[in-house]
Amino acid sequence: MFSTQQSCWFIRKVICWRAAASIAWAVLLLPPVTAVFVILSRFSLLHPIHTISECFSLLTSAGAIFSLILLCGVILMVGFLNLEYYTVIPTIACSKIALLGQLLHPRQFVNSSAHCIMGIIVAWCCAVTIGGRYETIGYPCTHSDGSTHMCLNEYHLILLLAGAFVGFSHSLLGVIHNMNFVSFHTVQQYKYLRFKGSLPLVVKCSATQALYSVRNYVVVYFFLGYIPKAWICKTLNLHLNSSIHPLDSIAGLLDLSLLYHLWISATFLLFTWYITLLLFRIFVTEVYNFPVQSSFTEEAHQCLPKVLTDKEPMILKFLALQDLALLSQHSPSRRCEVFSLSQPGGHPHNWNAISRECLSLLADLTQRLVAYHDTVATNGRAKSLSTGSERKTSSETSVTSGTEDLMSPRPTLMMKTPASVFARSIVGGPQSPLTAPFTPDLDSPFASPSLRRLTAPVEQCSPWHGTVQSPHVMRRVPKLWSTSTDSQANGSPPPSPASVASPQQQTSKPSLLAQFLQNRKEQVKHFLAKRVLIMYLFNKLPEASSQALFADSQAHIWALEGISYLIQASFSEDQFGVVQTALPSILSCMLVLQEAVDRHFKLPHASSKPLRSASSMGDPTYKTLRFALRATLKTAIYRITTTFGDHLNAVQMSAEHRKRLQQFVEYKD
Amino acid sequence: MCSLALFPAPLPDGQTTLCESNNELLSGSDAEERPKQVRSTQPQASLGLWFDRTADRNYQLTYGGYVQHHNPILLFKKASYPELICNNSAVSFPPAVPKCLSVSSGCTLALLQWVSSFHGSLFPHLTVSYFFLSDCVVRAFAWHPHTDKFAVALLDDSIKIYNPKSATTPTLKHRLQRSVAAVQWKPLCASALAVACQNCVLVWHVDPCSLSTRPSSGCAQVLSHPGHSPVTSIAWSPSGSLLASASPMDTAVMVWDVAAESCVPLQRVGGGGVTFLSWSPDGSHVLAPTPSALFRVWETRMWTCERWPCVKGRCQSGCWSPDGSRLLFTVQGETVIYALTFTDAPGSPGISTGTSKGPQAAAVVADLSETSFNTAHGDVIVGGEIQSLAWDPRGERLAVLLKGDPQAADRPAIIAVFKTRTNPVFELLPCGFVQGEADAEPRLMQFHPSFQHGALLTVCWSSGRITHVPFYFLSAGVPHFGLSGSPLLPRPQERCSALANQSLFTEMIS
């Protein structure tokens, strides 16, 4: 109750105003952009001065002002959709079918149709401003028999449909490229400078994207153009002028001036929308200064330690963590407040809350990595057994247990144990809201069936419910055999599930019917797995699961930075020694995470770099977050070891951790 | 203020500087006895390297410094031109000139310079032309910031990594690793080494535990941006999170997020490209001089910059004090060292714009104009233009590489070393000259970032030799990021008192 109220506070007071400011700027930028568009669209080389004077008279006409008002409405709508659909954690589709699901989601359908309509409106405005043959939808024409009718102006129609097509493809590409993902920059700049810096990119993006869209549109119109044409004619009671070439023919479409106008209109449309998106991103990701502590109790919920622990909204948590990372780095006075003691009582509440939240974030990531590794590593082991390659990374226990599982599969009952590890990170939503991107693994029908069956019920019986776990504990549990979509993709088929199921009948006999159904299901699955299209749709995209695992790692990066800078500063600034008490747990948490990350990077596809995408407005930073996290984690540990040096020997920790830490002290990792 | 006159005379030919001990520069005659003698004084520093040029003779000399044709204009002034007042500068208007005339001429000058700065930014390649300075086999040198290993870039574009604790010396070669201009290790990291190449920045990840002598090119990340070439200087942020790269042909400084391989171009109008980069040790500022008479100091919190137009020529070299509060720099065509003090404390609360708090003008702290010394072998003239500066990480020794005249035998390139103190006031005291073998000229120099017993200056000579010159002293102040728990001994006073009357520069506390 309290937290929802508080989230309302932040959304209401900060995010909405930022969005409003960004939309206002986008609206202010609209007239100059429109002017440039008008000049570019009507420019003729032969009469430059005439063009310019014509443009001026056009821009001051009533029609232009009306279309400008319409465009403002579109910008407002786009800005509103940006605010409605933005996310700080990208949704990463792990397979083609998941992507398809995203595209066909009702929410996305609303978005697409809204963009379609807005595209038509913008295209109408373009048609009116370009004028000439594009201006109206109907014109009087005389038939061969001498009677006059209203005929359909196909040039107008083609422009309107182009707008709809570009708007639709913009919305689809938005899903594919995660265009609604808002990323935070490591380099802080003022808003104006950032805008200025990204402007050339936006121009380039919109021009190239418009080019591609127009190319696709022309092809589509060539084949399917007659449908909307006939429909419009029918509904508006217009006639087709048979004396003019139809546009959905090769000769009609090879009109350079038409293509240029289509392209410049699409560029204008995309540019205004991209500008709105860019401004929104810049405004929303601006640093927000949370007070570390407040002397007024009614403002206590707005303070950094309190805000950090909030789960919702995500943007609030991200901005709080960003603020923490920056204050720990740049602001001694605010650091001092973090290290301070509470006035009556003398407890370091601020530091405790901050460090606890950062540690729980890191522990959560560790858990996720370990769980993921456990589900994937079995497949890797199955492969490595056949190829004979050695896997040093996982501890011996897991290797032996894995082989054991392969040799003598356990009855279904025992399979619960490892699943519980997996399940907690999925079902444990309330404890770990950040794990959402992990779920796509389960959506795949080729995920282990037992896993999916067991995710729901076991959560409560899990002995580690809601506690921070070291992976050593988790690794001791017996491993589960699971069907690998990965290995199928790699062309090495795993042993047939049916053959695994048969020994089960000898060891324990659950209901025969269930067994039979299970076998059937596996057979059907196996049958389907051989069909190319199905495999294409259901195959996991390489490294997508890895990306999904680290989708929210920006939060972890800030947590690591914030806490390591605070510890570095505490060496000289912490008067009461509040940091020292937490140092062993922080170090061990970081070392455990370091180990988990190292293991993760030894998986196939995890360390492969994503391809540099060409110009697109989608922010590709989420693809490299895992590398950023790895680098930040190492730097954070080195920052602590360099600052404390030999004093670390006095910190209590396990022998294994001490050994790993020693490597960092000697700069050998 | 002819500072060099207070220096002890340079050594005769054949003598090389070995180390500083007990406030005295020790010298030796023969290169062969050098390690022994050093070992006898202090056992810690006896690294030495020798690169034979003959092996690399067939490689072309492709990279050097810049020659640049700009008429010197006026003063050191910060951003705004019309107020042409500068306390230490060489030129000022005589009082007899009417005020309106001086103001109008100042404005004209400012306008002229403003217009000419566009020339540089529109045609950055015109202001820079290459000349062959680097006859040295060693192209670039970098100490690891935390350990005793270092990387050396050779003329054949390979990079060797030497580590006293390991027997293997990995050699880094990459298809894109051409005309290497600079190397630098990532701070707070054991393995990452950034290399400035012709068309890109390479970031090598050299596993210190690996036994391989030829790391595969898969260990290198390629950071490239269209139009950003040739990259001639790089600088890691001291926190290890960002990497800045600059090119004299590109007006933008690139700030890289290395893990994400994404970059933010920082572009400002005027000046042309960026000739080198120097990140202050506290991470708050970056010095970015241009090939024209202008340099910028970027503040790294919000990445705004201060413009500093120069009196004459371009900023040749610069270095930061360990606490990042003071910048020393030299200007091409001048024989003095200037200092800028940044009073706004790093990380002051809120966002500092730097316009109100920053310094208003640079002060001259040392004059290194030509001075002749009478030695046994005749007169030797020392001084002149300054090639580069290096300040040791404790802020106690400042090495100044003087260009000399390669044609004249009696004007050798030489390294002058000053003793410096930054607390409580900034002070410069003479220490001595560091000389190598007879024909060798110093080319590159760098202080060891974490030498325990004072300062260790590493010099790369034109002959291909790399020598380490240790300066043994007890630090006067507590080292800034020092970690030795025991309190340090006070500095021995007897020689300081003798030198006290020779102080070259003492900052006046206002």
pLDDT, position A433: 40
Q: Are the C-beta atoms of A578 and A339 separated by less than 8 Å?
A: yes
- Which residue of A lies nearest to B240 if distances are taken between CA atoms? A635
Task: State the Cα–Cα distance between residues A92 and A481, nearest whole angstrom.
Answer: 25
pLDDT, position B496: 39
Q: Are the C-beta atoms of A568 and A647 separated by less than 8 Å?
A: no
- Whether residue B38 is predicted with pLDDT greater than 80 in this model: the reply is no
Chain B residues contacting A via beta carbons under 8 Å: 144, 146-147, 188-190, 208-209, 239-242, 255, 257-262, 264-267, 301-304, 346-347, 349, 481, 483, 485
Which run of H or E residues covers position B490?
A: none
Tokens matching residue B474: 């007890």
How many CB atoms sit inside 10 A of residue B380's CB? 21
Q: Please report how the helices A106-130 and A256-284 are oriented relative to each other, as an axis angle in degrees rounded to 10.
A: 130
What backbone phi and psi angles, to 5 degrees, belong to B7? -75, 150
Q: Are the C-beta atoms of A60 and A501 separated by less than 8 Å?
A: no
Of A50, A56, A118, the closest CA to residue A82 belongs to A118
pLDDT, position B76: 30
| Phi-psi map region of A146: left, alpha, beta (phi>0 left; psi -120 to 50 alpha) | left
Q: How far is A174 from chain B (nearest CA, A)?
A: 21
Which neighbouring-strand residues pair with B222? B202
Nearest beta carbon to residue B241 from set A330, A334, A635: A635
Contact A638 B190 (CB under 8 A): yes
Q: What is the mean pLDDT of residues B365-374?
A: 87
Contact B264 A185 (CB under 8 A): yes
Task: State the Cα–Cα distance between residues B240 and A186, nearest whole angstrom.
Answer: 12
pLDDT, position A148: 81
DSSP assignment of B241-278 equals: S-EEEE-TT-SEEEEEETTTTEEEEEE-SSS-S----E
Task: State the Cα–Cα distance between residues A455 and A448, nearest whole angstrom.
Answer: 11
- Whether residue B105 is predicted with pLDDT greater than 60 in this model: the reply is yes
CA dihedral sign, ordered A425, A427, A428, A433 = positive
Nearest beta carbon to residue A638 from set B188, B259, B481: B188
pLDDT, position A419: 35
pLDDT, position A592: 95
Nearest beta carbon to residue A197 from set B209, B257, B265: B265
CA dihedral sign, ordered B249, B251, B253, B259 = negative
pLDDT, position B22: 82
Nearest beta carbon to residue B146 from set A331, A620, A642: A642
Nearest beta carbon to residue A190 from set B188, B302, B346: B302
Residue A383, amino acid: K
Of B129, B91, B76, the closest CA to residue B293 belongs to B76
Task: State the Cα–Cα distance between residues A563 and B266, nearest whole angstrom.
Answer: 29
Q: Collapsing DSSP states into helix, strand and coil, what is residue B390?
A: strand
What tens digit of pLDDT does each residue of A29-38 get? 999 999 999 8
| A188 chain-B contacts, CB cut-off 8 A | 301-303
Tokens matching residue A572: 């000289």
**B388 HSE (CA, 13 A, CB side):** 15
pLDDT, position A407: 38
**Residue B40: which pLDDT band, with cuts at 50, 70 and 90?**
very low
Contact B146 A667 (CB under 8 A): yes
Of B163, B103, B77, the closest CA to residue A667 belongs to B163
| B242 chain-A contacts, CB cut-off 8 A | 186-187
Contact A185 B190 (CB under 8 A): no
Contact B239 A329 (CB under 8 A): yes
- Which residue of A lies nearest to B207 if distances are taken between CA atoms? A669
Higher pLDDT, A246 or B348: A246
Tokens matching residue B400: 């100044």
- Whether residue B41 is predicted with pLDDT greater than 60 in this model: the reply is no
Nearest beta carbon to residue A189 from set B241, B258, B302: B302
| A644 chain-B contacts, CB cut-off 8 A | 483
pLDDT, position A521: 86
A186 at B interface, C-beta within 8 A: yes
CA A163 to chain CA centroid, Å, is: 27
Contact A631 B347 (CB under 8 A): no
Asked if ipTM goes beyond 0.85, one says no
Contact B188 A628 (CB under 8 A): no
Residue A185, amino acid: H
Interface test with B, best of A289, A635, A648, A665 (most B CBs within 10 A): A635
pTM of the entire predicted model:
0.79
Residue A540 per-residue DSSP state: B
DSSP assignment of A317-358 equals: HHHHHHHHHHHHHH-HHHHHHHHPPPTTT---HHHHHHHHHH
Higher pLDDT, B398 or A410: B398
Q: What is the mean pLDDT of residues B455-477?
A: 86
Task: State the Cα–Cα distance between residues B447 and B389, nearest whole angstrom.
Answer: 10
pLDDT, position B111: 78
Biggest distance spanned by C-alpha atoms of chain A? 104
Q: How far is B303 from chain A (nearest CA, A)?
A: 6
Which residues in chain A show pLDDT less than 50?
A: 1-4, 381-507
| B163 chain-A contacts, CB cut-off 8 A | none
Tokens matching residue A427: 């079902």
- Which residue of A lies nearest to B166 if distances are taken between CA atoms? A668
Task: State the Cα–Cα distance between residues B122 and B284, nearest whole angstrom.
Answer: 29
